[in-house]
Amino acid sequence: MTNIGVIWSRLPSLAKPPEGIEDEPVLTSFLSKAFYFSVGRNAWWGSWSSTYPGDQAFAPEPTTIKSRIEAQRVQGSQFTLKELPALALMGEHYEFLLFQTWGNAPFREIPRSAIAGRTMFEVARSICKHEQWIDTFIGPSGTALRPILPFKMFRSRPQGAGYFLAWDRLDDDYELTPVMALVADVTLHLNNES
């Protein structure tokens, strides 16, 4: 199988695998991270409004996210940048990255016996069917980062026109036990399947 030109993008559906990756086996899994940003600003009557720009809010590394944020800057906007704990499923040509944008204990609802299949798509689908809000992205092999702990969250601060935004670190408290248990479950499943 050859790389079909996949770039970092959301899997459109978990009903059937994208063409060209149907048989891509999972070689390994590991804890990774995805980067996510949201945009906030004061709305009507002093209330705070927070949105995110769809799939452009996600990237596998921070440089891309910060470039996108700088391109969207307008006066009064404030950006929040989060490092999200993620499960990486690595194949020979592709990687899947599974993560959640909400809550502080990602993958908490995944049962210990959830993992099934050998291909990246089968394993991802077996996980995602237990939790409604899991984002699943695909990228070329080598996309997923090995994380430096702890996972962090930042809020932007303007430094004036013509200057890049400054980033103040905020406290973020992820419970990593569920995602680490999921990584272990996938690894054990793969070991028992081989």
pLDDT tens by residue, 83-103 = 999 999 999 999 999 999 988
Q: What is the mean pLDDT of residues 142-158?
A: 90
- Residues 77, 41: Cα–Cα separation, whole Å: 5
Q: Do 36 and 84 contact (CB within 8 A), yes or no?
A: yes
pTM of the model: 0.89
Note the pLDDT of residue 164.
94
Note the pLDDT of residue 48.
67
Q: How confident is the model at residue 129 (pLDDT cuts 50, 70, 90)?
A: very high
Q: Do 141 and 91 contact (CB within 8 A), yes or no?
A: yes
Note the pLDDT of residue 80.
93
Q: Do 41 and 77 contact (CB within 8 A), yes or no?
A: yes
User: How far is the CA of 86 from the CAs of 36, 46, 144, 158, in angstroms?
Assistant: 12, 35, 9, 29
Note the pLDDT of residue 45.
64
Task: Give the residue, 167 or 147, on which the prediction is more confident.
Answer: 167
Asked whether residue 172 carries a pLDDT value surpassing 80, the answer given is no
Note the pLDDT of residue 117.
94
Note the pLDDT of residue 2.
43
Is residue 24 classed as helix, strand or coil in its secondary structure? coil
- Residues 136, 14: Cα–Cα separation, whole Å: 9
Q: How confident is the model at residue 193 (pLDDT cuts 50, 70, 90)?
A: confident
Q: Do 134 and 65 contact (CB within 8 A), yes or no?
A: no
Q: How confident is the model at residue 43 (pLDDT cuts 50, 70, 90)?
A: low
CB atoms within 10 A of CB 162: 5
Rg, C-alpha atoms of the chain: 18
- Residues 37, 35: Cα–Cα separation, whole Å: 7
Q: What is the mean pLDDT of residues 135-139?
A: 94
Say how many CA atoms lie within 13 Å of 14 toward its Cβ. Answer: 22
Note the pLDDT of residue 29.
94
Asked whether residue 59 carries a pLDDT value surpassing 90, the answer given is yes
Q: How confident is the model at residue 47 (pLDDT cuts 50, 70, 90)?
A: low
